[in-house]
């Protein structure tokens, strides 16, 4: 997990980010759990301004063709924490642009897995998600300022923690994948985030996925 930039290079992106956020804020603020809105999806008709997508690709230094989704993820105050998990079978990396300062009270919690192999990480993921094991993991939170650029690499166990702030923690999320035909959900609104373990829809999604070492 790295802070790539402490502030976006292209200042012209900021008004567009805020405009999109304002458009969808009322929907996000109705959520009680960590939720997500898809704004652009590579494998569906869901799209936004091409110029915005192009500017995002330049900002993150990734090819447009490798951007799977662009959206907004939001953690409301006192939301339930997620289980630790890896995203999308470990086949994607994700960039975040926070719209508020990120600190220990509202930031994403990451597991220290620097000494583990990919097989070990998959085993941990499966034990947490499928067997509901509560594991004691050494964790850390990356503090980052508003409008910074953060990159989360593949195979990183993480979870959205309960937001202890009185303000919603919202971030733009850009999912990137080098596999051309890799598919992830194209739902416009994911009201409980993909891996909230208490939701029936999520369990069906999890049961339909194959986690392989």
Question: Considering the domain 2-205, what is its CATH architecture?
Answer: Sandwich (2.60)
Tokens 């891996």 correspond to what residue?
Answer: 195
Closest among 1, 2, 4, 36 to 110, alpha carbons compared:
1
Closest among 75, 86, 84 to 33, alpha carbons compared:
75
Closest among 49, 58, 42, 56 to 179, alpha carbons compared:
42
The tens place of each residue's pLDDT in the chain, 213 residues long, gives: 899 999 999 999 999 999 999 999 999 999 888 999 999 999 999 999 999 999 999 999 999 999 999 999 999 999 988 878 888 878 899 999 999 999 999 999 998 877 788 888 888 877 776 666 666 778 999 999 999 999 998 888 888 999 999 999 999 999 999 999 988 888 888 877 654 434 454 555 455 444 433
The half-sphere exposure of 65 on its side-chain side, counting CA atoms within 13 A, is 4
**CB–CB of 108/169 below 8 Å?**
no
Q: How far apart are CA 121 and CA 63, in angstroms?
A: 28
Report pTM.
Answer: 0.87
pLDDT of residue 70: 97
Tell me phi and psi for residue 72, to 5 degrees. Answer: -125, 125
pLDDT of residue 209: 44
pLDDT of residue 111: 87
Copy the structure tokens of residue 142: 């990356």
Copy the structure tokens of residue 93: 């990396």
pLDDT of residue 113: 79
pLDDT of residue 19: 97
Q: How far apart are CA 60 and CA 104, in angstroms?
A: 25
pLDDT of residue 1: 83
Task: Name the 3-class secondary structure at 73.
Answer: strand
pLDDT of residue 206: 52
Q: How far apart are CA 37 and CA 55, in angstroms?
A: 20
Question: 3-state DSSP: the chain helix, strand, coil percent, rounded to 5?
Answer: 25, 25, 50
């Amino acid at each position: 997990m790295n802070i790539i930039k402490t502030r976006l290079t292209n200042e012209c992106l900021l008004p567009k980010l805020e405009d999109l956020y304002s458009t969808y804020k009322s929907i996000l603020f109705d959520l009680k759990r960590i939720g997500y809105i898809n704004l652009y999806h590579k494998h569906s008709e869901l799209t936004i301004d091409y110029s915005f997508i192009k500017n995002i690709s330049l900002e993150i230094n990734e090819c447009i063709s490798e951007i799977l989704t662009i959206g907004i993820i939001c953690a409301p105050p006192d939301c339930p924490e997620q289980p630790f998990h890896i995203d999308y079978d470990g086949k994607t990396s994700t960039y975040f642009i926070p719209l508020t300062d990120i600190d220990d009270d509202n930031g994403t919690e990451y597991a220290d897995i620097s000494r583990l192999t990919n097989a070990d990480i998959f085993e941990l993921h499966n034990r947490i998600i499928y067997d509901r094991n509560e594991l004691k993991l050494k964790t850390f939170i990356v503090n980052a300022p508003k409008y910074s650029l953060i990159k989360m690499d593949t195979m990183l166990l993480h979870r959205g923690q309960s937001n202890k702030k009185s303000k919603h923690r919202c971030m733009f999320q850009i999912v990137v994948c080098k596999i051309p035909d890799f598919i992830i959900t194209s739902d416009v609104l994911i009201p409980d985030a993909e891996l909230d373990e208490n939701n029936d829809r999520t369990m069906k999604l999890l049961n339909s996925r194959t986690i392989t070492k």
